[in-house]
Amino acid sequence: MIKSERVSYILHRLEELYPETPVPLDHSDPFTLLIAVLLSAQCTDVRVNQITPKLFGELGKTPQALAAQPVAKIEAIVKPCGLGPQKAKAIQKLSQILLDQHGGQVPCDLAALEELPGVGHKTAQVVMAQSFGVPSFPVDTHIHRLAQRWKLTDGKNVTQTERDLKRLFPEASWNKLHLQIIFYGREFCSARGCDGTVCEICTTLFPERKRALKTKKA
């Protein structure tokens, strides 16, 4: 298949497999999503979903509540997510910044989100996509790996992968598609479960591929 045919097939097959794309991180509003995504760095969604009910239930789920908490108290709860000291400090500090600079609301602005402590480009894009419906294409390790296996990017870095995927896929598909690729990567095309020669989409796109494909890390 040529690249445009691969793109068409991927869109069609992922829509068949995942017509519904619930956000994997439990949340109730933009702020709780922001905190959940921040906690998910180097941590599984399952673990985050175990921690956030305790965090929000005991300490509160608003910027006002978390800004007033000692960092040590936040850290004691979020520690199982890894990077506890950094994440706890970021949660307390970004909550205060939201109060001081944004009226206690999560801004619907990518640049403003990226300025918040602990919030990188991917986290900001997840919030823009899932809380505000702004077309975004957050690239995680699954997406970065699969995009290489499907020869949609050369995999130099996640910035390049994001740029290439945005160029290839219709903007209207981005918010749903990034979750569909993540779901597929977790279920069928994981780092250990497929090397570019095993799963359905890989074998359909590249039936002649015989050797394992080495991918570049994000």
Known catalytic residues?
122, 140
CA distances in angstroms from 217 to 80, 116, 129, 136, 158, listed in the order given: 25, 26, 24, 21, 9
- The alpha helices in the chain, defined as continuous H runs, are 3-17, 30-39, 45-59, 63-67, 71-78, 84-101, 110-114, 121-132, 141-149, 158-168, 174-187, 200-205
Q: What is the rounded CA–CA span in Å between residue 90 and residue 119? A: 8
d(C-alpha 172, C-alpha 57), whole Å: 36
Measured between alpha carbons, how far is 207 from 110 in angstroms, rounded to an integer? Answer: 40
- Residue owning tokens 């823009």: 128
Task: Of 92, 85, 83, give the one whose Cα is nearest residue 42.
Answer: 83
